Amino acid sequence: MRLRGSPLVMTLYLLFLLVPIYWLVNMSLKTNAEITSTFTLLPSNLTFRNYAVILTDPSWYMGYVNSIIYVVMNTVISITVALPAAYAFSRYSFMGDKHLFFWLLTNRMSPPAVFALPFFQLYSSVGLFDTHIAVALAHCLFNVPLAVWILEGFMRGVPKEIDETAYIDGYSFPRFFVKIFMPLIASGIGVAAFFCFMFSWVELLLSRTLTSVNAKPIAATMTRTVSASGMDWGVLAAAGVLTIIPGALVIYFVRNYIAKGFALGRV
Amino acid sequence: MEKTLNNKAWFLVLPVLVIVAFSAIVPLMTVVNYAVNDTFGNNEFFWVGLEWFEEMVTSDRLHEALGRQILFSAIILAIEVPLGIYIALNMPKRGFWASLCLVLMALPLLIPFNVVGTIWQIFGRVDIGLLGRYLAEFGFDYNYTNDPLDAWITVIVMDVWHWTSLVALLCYAGLQSIPNAYYQAAKVDQASRWAVFRYIELPKMAGVLLIAVLLRFMDSFMIYTEPFVVTGGGPGNSTTFLSIDLVKMAIGQFDLGPAAAFSIMYFLVILLVSWIFYTVMTNLDKEEGK
């Protein structure tokens, strides 16, 4: 007997989740005149002007490019440094390992607001202010610990005998790690990369503090343009819809690992 | 798993240590430096000791922000945790519908924080928002930009919308690990629905549920972007939570000393909760290993 869920509850809950998103999409397909003058549940004059504005104006679409650049940089850095560390944590005990693990966790938990101002000064003083790498490094603060925790969770599932057999067969450590071990935890690497991507993508406070023009993320572009040009609601909604799309696309591939990722590999 | 003692493993951890230390320790030291000094600009600093801490500990502004923050986190947990469990119990167990539910539920979790704010800002507006418009039509006097209570309700509903799925997904993962035999045994014993929940499902969910509660507590405790976009901390100061107040103080008014002292106390609270979190997690790992 599996206790069965009620479709009614789920339908109501999913409606609750989707109605605000529907309203955003709806508004992005309307003209500003229609948004402010009439109240319609579906756009009466379907228009793609709002999307056209974003996709043809460099000051808009460069926001997306900037975001994607620093998010990808961050994901690559985080996974590269986290892989060996997670291996060390899952296989060996060494001096101070528990303290180190705890310290990493505190960084995942620390509020970005505490770090915003010192980051600004740190990156200004080393000349990295308003570069993509600055945001990528700043996001490492919470993404590297996250990646270590998730990967460690996956690596513990790989029996140690595999390592030992490989060494007996004459594999060196780097060769074993790349050729044998990484394929075994490929899904774990995928999940960790996805979560790094995601947390870097949704973060605004640090990325906005560390950039002004050249590396300004789309999220910051949205907030400024809106206040300056007297509320262009349609374009704002369209920009919002475009930021949802990357997440919506990849979510399908990691749907069964979402819980594991959010729980730092501990489900 | 038995772990071998090997201090050379430090070399594998070194890259992580360097990168995180650059992003964590240097800024933290800067904060500590500000917290014990006063400055009149030009990089001239005067040692003031614990003065800022005293000022902050006794400041009404901080107490109010802290009070609002605790109230907010408490309400969030009180709504999201039971609701999340309830949703998890009602999710389809497998097949196409389960996948669809997982994907749709995860959607709000992947929206950039300020877009979440924007969505609700638009959705709640009386002139152009679906929610605000319909509430007005049914005779509610709803306006989140003027009325503190409405602002609170909007921010809370937004957070429930944004994060309940996280609790539900974690509980769902916990429920999936219950073998069918448990349910069959319960059926043989003619256990009630409540008994099944209380003695089978809840104990199996306890681990992930604890993680969910701690994560929700931490994240709601440092919430910044979403309420900032929707209400900007207003009307008045009614939705100014700790992070919003901190950023106002540090970047808006450039009161570095008090802001830094504030940051450090904030950080100590985080450290304490992280420690609880860590203890819970390592205990879970041990149980799993048995």
Q: If you average pLDDT over every residue of chain B, what do you get?
A: 83
Long-range contacts, A179-183 (Cβ 8 Å, 24+): A181/A87, A182/A83
When comparing pLDDT for A90 and B4, which is higher? A90
Q: What is the ipTM of this complex?
A: 0.82
* Residue B118 falls inside a structural domain: yes
- pLDDT tens sequence across A147-168: 998 898 889 888 888 888 998 9
Beta-carbon contacts below 8 Å between A and B: 296
* Residue B13 falls inside a structural domain: no
Q: Which domain holds residue B143?
A: 47-289
Nearest CA in chain B to A195: B110
* Residue B17 falls inside a structural domain: no
A215: pLDDT strictly greater than 60: yes
Residue B160, pLDDT score:
94
Rounded to whole angstroms, the Cα distance separating A29 from A46 reads 6
A75: pLDDT strictly greater than 80: yes
Rounded to whole angstroms, the Cα distance separating B132 from B145 reads 11
A12: pLDDT strictly greater than 60: yes
* Closest by CA position to A229, among listed A64, A59, A62, A65: A59
Percent of chain B with pLDDT over 90: 10
Query: What's the mean pLDDT in B143-161?
Result: 88
pLDDT band at A217 (very low <50, low <70, confident <90, very high): confident
Secondary structure, 3-state, B166-201: HHHHHHHHHHHCCCHHHHHHHHHCCCCHHHHHHHHH
B87: pLDDT strictly greater than 50: yes
Helix (H, G, I), strand (E, B) or coil at A127: coil
Rounded to whole angstroms, the Cα distance separating B125 from B103 reads 28
Q: If you average pLDDT over every residue of chain A, what do you get?
A: 84
Please report the domains of chain A, with CATH numbers, ordered by start residue. Answer: 63-227+245-262 (1.10.3720.10)
* Residue B210 falls inside a structural domain: yes
Taking each continuous run of H as one helix and of E as one strand, the counts in chain A are 15, 1
When comparing pLDDT for B124 and B38, which is higher? B124
Residue A224, pLDDT score:
61
Contacting residues of A for B251, CB less than 8 Å apart: 116-117, 209
B161: pLDDT strictly greater than 90: yes
* Residue B61 falls inside a structural domain: yes
* Residue B143 falls inside a structural domain: yes
Please answer whether residues A59 and A42 qualify as being in contact, where contact means their C-beta atoms are separated by less than 8 angstroms. Answer: no
Q: Which of residues 80-139 of B touch A (CB under 8 A)?
A: 86-87, 89-93, 99, 101-115, 118-120, 122-123, 127-131, 133
pLDDT band at B290 (very low <50, low <70, confident <90, very high): very low
Closest partner residue to B90 among A10, A156, A222, by Cβ? A10
- Domain tally, chain B: 1
When comparing pLDDT for B122 and B45, which is higher? B122
Task: Determine which of A14, A64, A110, A250 to mutate to test the interface with B (most B C-beta atoms within 10 Å).
Answer: A110
Nearest CA in chain A to B127: A36
Query: What's the mean pLDDT in B236-251?
Result: 81
Please answer whether residues A202 and B110 qualify as being in contact, where contact means their C-beta atoms are separated by less than 8 angstroms. Answer: yes
- pLDDT tens sequence across B43-86: 666 777 777 777 777 778 888 888 898 899 999 999 999 999 99
pLDDT band at B163 (very low <50, low <70, confident <90, very high): very high
Retrieve residue B257's tokens: 């000393």
B253: pLDDT strictly greater than 80: no
Lowest mean pLDDT among A89-103, A224-238, B44-58, B130-144: A224-238
Lowest mean pLDDT among B7-11, B94-98, B284-288: B284-288
When comparing pLDDT for B52 and A241, which is higher? A241
* Residue B26 falls inside a structural domain: no
Flag whether residue B247 sits within 8 Å of chain A, measured between CB atoms. Answer: yes
Residue B223, pLDDT score:
86
Closest partner residue to A262 among B174, B215, B271, by Cβ? B215
Residue A226, pLDDT score:
55
Q: Do A104 and B128 make contact, defined as CB atoms within 8 angstroms? A: no
B144: pLDDT strictly greater than 90: no
Rounded to whole angstroms, the Cα distance separating A44 from A3 reads 45
Give the alpha-carbon dihedral of B245, B227, A201, A104, to 10 degrees: 50
Nearest CA in chain B to A149: B281
- pLDDT tens sequence across B184-202: 888 888 888 888 888 888 8
Residue B164, pLDDT score:
93
Flag whether residue B182 sits within 8 Å of chain A, measured between CB atoms. Answer: no
Closest partner residue to A94 among B10, B108, B259, by Cβ? B10
Percent of chain A with pLDDT over 70: 94
The DSSP-derived string for chain B is ---EE-GGGHHHHHHHHHHHHHHHHHHHHHHHHHHTEEE-STT-EEE-TTHHHHHHHT-HHHHHHHHHHHHHHHHHHHHHHHHHHHHHHHS--SSHHHHHHHHHHHGGGGS-HHHHHHHHHHHH-TTT-HHHHHHHHTT----TTT-HHHHHHHHHHHHHHHHHHHHHHHHHHHHHTS-HHHHHHHHHTT--HHHHIIIIIHHHHHHHHHHHHHHHHHHHHT--HHHHHHHTT-STTTT--HHHHHHIIIIIS--HHHHHHHHHHHHHHHHHHHHHHHHHHHHHHHHHH-
CATH number at residue B80: 1.10.3720.10
Nearest CA in chain A to B261: A114
* Residue B32 falls inside a structural domain: no
